[in-house]
C-alpha cells in the first residue's frame, strides 16, 4: 500500500468517496468536484491510500480558516475514510490504513507550519468516531450534541478550535411550504440530501418555495452558523445517513397537504 497525493487519475473516485460502484452517489451531483476546484488553491490537502492500483482510503484536510469550524493556525481533517463495503474494491478497514493516512496528513500540515491538527468526530460509534481520534492523541476541544471537535497541538502556543453555533434559522413564508437547504459541497452524503431536497421541492409545485444557501461562502457560513442542513418549514431534517428521495418528498408533500387544507 502507498500513500499518495490526489492526482487526476483518481479525481473521479475521490469525488464519490471511493464509492464509484454506488448508484446512490449519482444523486450527489457535481458539488464535491466544484468544492475541490475552489479549495485546491486555498490549502486543501488530499491523500489517498492506493493498493494494487485502486484507491482504498482517503483523507482531506484544509486550513481551519477555510473550514466549517473556528480556529487559527491549525489544519482541520474534514474527512477520513477507508472503504468498508463488500461492493467495489471490498472492505479494507482494520488494516492500519486510516492511521497511515492521518499520520501522512499530520506530517504535511507540520511541514506547512501548522500549529496543530483538528478533526471533527461523532460521540456515537457510527463514522468519524471521536474515540478513534482520541486513540491517536487527539483531545476534546468542543462539543455540540453528538458532534465532537478534537485537536492535537503541535506547538506550545497553539489555541484550541471551536465549533460553529447556529445563529439563525430559516423563516417560514406565508402561504408557502418553505424548504431551505444549506450546502458547502465537500461531503457527497450531504450533497445527496441537498440534491434530493431540491428535486423534490421542484416537483411539488408552486406551493413550495426552495431556497439554497451556499455556505461555501465564509461570510454566509458565519451569518447562519449552519454548514450543511435541510429545513422544511423551519424543522431540520435528519440527514445522516442521507434520507431517500421518497422520504424527503413525502415530508414536503405532507406540509403542502396541510397548507392546502387551511
Q: How many domains does the chain have?
A: 2
- Is 191 exposed, middle or buried (CB count within 10 Å of its CB: 0-12, 13-18, 19+)? buried
Q: In whole angstroms, what separates CA 4 from the centre of its chain?
A: 22
Do 221 and 92 lie in one domain? The reply is: no
Residue 195 placed within a domain: yes
CATH of the domain at 194: 3.40.30.10
One domain, residues 100 and 28: yes
What confidence score (pLDDT) does residue 262 get?
Answer: 63
Do 184 and 227 contact (CB within 8 A), yes or no?
yes
Residues of the chain with pLDDT under 50: none
Asked if residue 172 is part of any domain, the answer here is no
pLDDT at residue 208, as a whole number: 96
CA dist 235 and 247 (Å) reads 15
DSSP state of 228: S
Boundaries of domain holding 187: 177-261
Strands 54-63 and 45-51 turn out to be antiparallel
134 plus 218 within the same structural domain: no
Domain boundary among 141, 163, 185: 163
At 88, which CATH number? Answer: 3.40.630.30
Alpha carbon 213 to its chain's center:
15
The verdict on 47 and 107 lying in the same domain is yes
Residue 81 resides in a domain:
yes
Residue 232 lies in a domain: yes
- d(C-alpha 256, C-alpha 177), whole Å: 6
Amino acid at each position: 500500500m502507498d500513500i499518495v497525493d490526489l492526482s487526476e487519475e483518481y479525481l473521479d473516485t475521490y469525488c464519490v468517496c471511493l464509492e464509484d460502484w454506488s448508484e446512490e452517489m449519482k444523486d450527489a451531483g457535481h458539488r464535491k468536484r466544484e468544492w475541490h476546484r475552489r479549495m485546491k488553491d486555498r490549502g486543501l490537502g488530499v491523500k489517498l491510500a492506493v493498493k494494487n492500483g485502486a484507491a482504498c482510503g482517503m483523507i482531506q484536510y484544509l486550513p481551519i480558516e477555510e473550514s466549517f469550524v473556528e480556529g487559527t493556525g491549525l489544519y482541520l481533517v474534514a474527512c477520513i475514510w477507508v472503504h468498508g463495503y463488500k461492493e467495489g474494491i471490498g472492505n479494507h478497514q482494520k488494516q492500519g490504513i486510516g492511521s497511515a493516512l492521518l499520520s501522512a496528513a499530520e506530517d504535511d500540515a507540520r511541514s506547512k507550519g501548522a500549529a496543530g491538527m483538528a478533526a471533527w468526530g461523532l460521540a456515537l460509534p457510527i463514522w468519524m468516531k471521536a474515540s478513534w481520534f482520541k486513540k491517536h492523541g487527539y483531545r476534546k476541544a468542543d462539543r455540540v450534541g453528538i458532534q465532537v471537535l478534537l485537536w492535537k497541538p503541535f506547538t506550545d502556543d497553539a489555541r484550541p478550535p471551536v465549533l460553529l453555533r447556529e445563529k439563525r434559522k430559516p423563516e417560514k413564508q406565508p402561504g408557502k411550504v418553505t424548504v431551505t437547504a444549506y450546502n458547502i459541497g465537500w461531503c457527497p452524503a450531504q450533497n445527496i440530501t441537498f440534491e434530493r431536497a431540491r428535486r423534490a421541492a421542484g416537483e411539488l409545485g408552486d406551493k413550495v418555495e426552495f431556497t439554497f444557501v451556499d455556505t461555501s461562502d465564509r461570510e454566509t457560513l458565519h451569518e447562519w452558523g449552519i454548514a450543511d442542513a435541510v429545513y422544511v418549514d423551519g424543522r431540520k431534517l435528519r440527514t445522516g445517513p442521507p434520507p431517500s428521495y421518497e422520504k424527503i418528498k413525502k415530508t414536503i408533500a405532507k406540509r403542502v397537504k396541510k397548507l392546502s387544507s387551511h
